[in-house]
Structure 1
Amino acid sequence: MATDPLTSPGAYPRGVDDQRREFEERRLAAFRRRGFSGVGRRIPDHAGRETYILVSEESPCPAVLVHGGVGNTVEWADLAPQLGSPLIIPDRPGFGLSYPTDYRRLDFRADAARWLLELTDGLGVDKIDLVGNSMGGFFAIAFAAAHPDRVRKLVLCGTAGGLFPKPGLFLQLWATPGVGTLISKIQVRDAETLRKRAFGNYLVHPERVPADLLEVALLGINLPGTAQTNQAIMQAVATIRGWRPQLRLESALATLPVSTLLIWGDHDALAGPDIGRDLTTRMPNARITVIPDAGHIPHLDQPEPVAAVLNEFLGQPLH
């Protein structure tokens, strides 16, 4: 594993500004308070760009947790310490401390698969267990469909991007030229506003999100370039009318040979559990677990039940 370990607060390479340093120190502290003893590392790709990861321990088949569109790995902080698998928790390109990228100039689906392939290669492993939420689920499906031999098990925790027709009016407006640029200039300045705007529509219980995780999330979304990255992603995948048809992933998922678990909140605002149930009837090796009293990010609403389901699924041998 080619890495640049960052094993203690303040051990940051030259060129990382104070804002990023504070974000990473606060994020590591939030994970550690919950019992996650991992460290931060950087994994270079073939072009020399670096993906930043939190890693609990090295393994020949780690579980890789890919965050959703909020743009922050902190969504996994309550879940990660409860999981029995060695974990890799990356910042997606353009977010956190990973390399910047312009999604308007890319084949979005192909680049999602490329990023995870180069991350898997950089970790020096043949296979990974892959867990994705929302837009992270889109990345996970894109990679598993392109490289099924590199994925031991796939988990979509909350409905994945590409499996629902409309991401919601606000995100569809963000995808619209002109209006989207104005939205990107809006800066959320306090944690309680973030609780309402970023989590209010996606969680059953946004009031339960701990204050320290909100503070880290606030730092993350206000990192330079993050709002523009989110806008570019929305423009790549959606229009004012909804998700771009060429980036829908139902067909890719329906033929996927990888052992797959769908973890679905019973109150997911973007797509109800019946969509997941229908998908599993068409997939060759899949099942669904519906989490009661949970929304689009079920591991934030109900981390304990989600951890139990994940540990049971990832711990099962393949048949």
Structure 2
Amino acid sequence: MPLDHAAEPSATAKPYVEALSAVCDHYGVDAESRYADLPNPASKVHYLTAGEGPPLLLLHGLGATATYWVPMLDALTDHFTVYVPDAPGRGLSTAVDYRETGFREFGVEYVADLLDSVGIEETAVMGNSLGGFQSLALTVDHPERVTRLCAIGAPAGLSRDIPLLFRLFDLPLVGRWLFDYFQAETVEEARAEFRRINVEDDSAIPDMFFEPGIVGEKLPGQRESLLSLMETLGTVRGMNPEFDLREAVREIQVPTRFVWGTEDYFWPPSVGRPVASAMANADFVTLADYGHVPWLEPGDEATDAAVAFLTDGRSV
């Protein structure tokens, strides 16, 4: 069975579980679907786990879920036991109101609580986009818990600048209208949106990959959680100052790699290179013609760069 669910899913969750299972099946991934009971407000966090070896935590981006990592798991599970949570308010994790929790502290707090829940004292971490921000912030706040750090795709936190579209989401009335307008209800709509923001070339992505996202937006509280998170992150002037990690990450000592596409929708490599250069133990891999979620592009360049680093040159 490609996805072993820890408990019989509810009628509401079942379509999502079935869609996620189909994605795992397509990519030949044998994963377990589990829940961690965490302190409120995170409450119940859903995560996937697969593989054998030392732990590796994978953190997804703003509007994503654990599904985004499934295409890379086959390359990781021979080397690691991977843990892939749905952030609170995404996928099957409990909905939260980020207007009340914030994200800078809470985004680290629930991850640390998750590691405690599954008995992990220290782990390698890889994050994409907002998950890249969490990875950096976790390492800043709890350096003793992170052994290696890989940000694949531009991480938030290294610039306060954001694309115009995301600034508009903060405008009264206009922001809510845009938020509802861009909700994908078909695979074709989801693919078009994905191609516009996440990848330069979507030809390697099967239609079924988009189904969990479409179904997941219908789960109770998920849309409101996402909107509250977007409102928390920034304003029409850009990202809120509390999310600026440029100075803090200079103190990171653990081995760090940035894997960054030249066509990243959010930030170009020129944003990240000076930050990496100022860090004690970081390198920077530039991927020509790759977008924001580079491991979903055709070819293995992004995955190979991440796996080679995370395994520290061990047999890949």
Q: CA deviation at 1:211?
A: 0.7
Structure 2 counterpart of 1:299, one-letter code: W
Aligned counterpart, 2:232: 236
Is the CA contact (8 Å cut-off) linking 1:200 and 1:206 kept in structure 2?
no
For each residue in 1:105-148, what CA deviation from the matched residue of structure 2 results, as whole angstroms up to 9, or x when unmatched? 12321101101100110110110111110011111112111101
Is the CA contact (8 Å cut-off) linking 1:78 and 1:303 kept in structure 2?
no
CA distance in 1, matches of 2:243, 2:122: 25
Query: Following superposition of structure 1 onto structure 2, how do residues 132-281 of structure 1 map, counting pairs within 5 Å?
Result: 132-186=127-181, 187-281=183-277
TM-score by length of 1: 0.90
Q: CA deviation at 1:86?
A: 1.7
Q: Secondary structure at the match of 2:67?
A: helix
Aligned counterpart, 2:98: 103
For each residue in 1:233-272, what CA deviation from the matched residue of structure 2 results, as whole angstroms up to 9, or x when unmatched? 1111100121112321111222212211101012112111
For each residue in 1:167-203, what CA deviation from the matched residue of structure 2 results, as whole angstroms up to 9, or x when unmatched? 3222222233332223343442111111112432331
Q: CA deviation at 1:302?
A: 4.5
Structure 1 counterpart of 2:71, one-letter code: D
Match of 2:33 among 15, 40, 62: 40
Q: Secondary structure at the match of 1:40?
A: strand
Aligned counterpart, 1:3: none
Is the CA contact (8 Å cut-off) linking 2:6 and 2:34 kept in structure 1?
no
User: How many residues in Structure 1 have an aligned counterpart in Structure 2?
Assistant: 309
Aligned counterpart, 1:49: 43
Superposed CA RMSD in Å reads 2.2
Structure 2 counterpart of 1:121, one-letter code: D
Is the CA contact (8 Å cut-off) linking 1:175 and 1:239 kept in structure 2?
yes
Per the alignment, do residues 133 and 10 of structure 1 end up closer, same or farther by CA in structure 2, a change over 3 Å counting? Answer: closer
CA distance in 2, matches of 1:266, 1:183: 27
CA distance in 1, matches of 2:296, 2:313: 27
CA distance in 1, matches of 2:235, 2:268: 22
Q: Secondary structure at the match of 1:192?
A: helix
Per the alignment, do residues 271 and 132 of structure 1 end up closer, same or farther by CA in structure 2, a change over 3 Å counting? Answer: same
Deviates more, 1:224-233 or 1:281-290: 224-233
Deviates more, 1:175-184 or 1:268-277: 175-184
Q: Secondary structure at the match of 1:177?
A: coil
Structure 2 counterpart of 1:17, one-letter code: A
Residue segments in structure 1 that go unaligned for 5+ positions in a row: 1-5
CA distance in 1, matches of 2:300, 2:313: 22
Is the CA contact (8 Å cut-off) linking 1:133 and 1:160 kept in structure 2?
yes
Is the CA contact (8 Å cut-off) linking 1:196 and 1:206 kept in structure 2?
no
CA distance in 1, matches of 2:5, 2:66: 18
Aligned counterpart, 1:64: 57
CA distance in 1, matches of 2:123, 2:6: 30
**Kindly, what percent of the aligned residue pairs are identical?**
27
Structure 2 counterpart of 1:206, one-letter code: D
Q: Secondary structure at the match of 2:176?
A: helix
Q: Does 1:23 align with 2:19?
A: no
CA distance in 1, matches of 2:6, 2:119: 27
TM-score by length of 2: 0.90
CA distance in 2, matches of 1:43, 1:202: 29
Is the CA contact (8 Å cut-off) linking 2:58 and 2:125 kept in structure 1?
yes
Aligned counterpart, 2:70: 77
Is the CA contact (8 Å cut-off) linking 2:204 and 2:298 kept in structure 1?
no
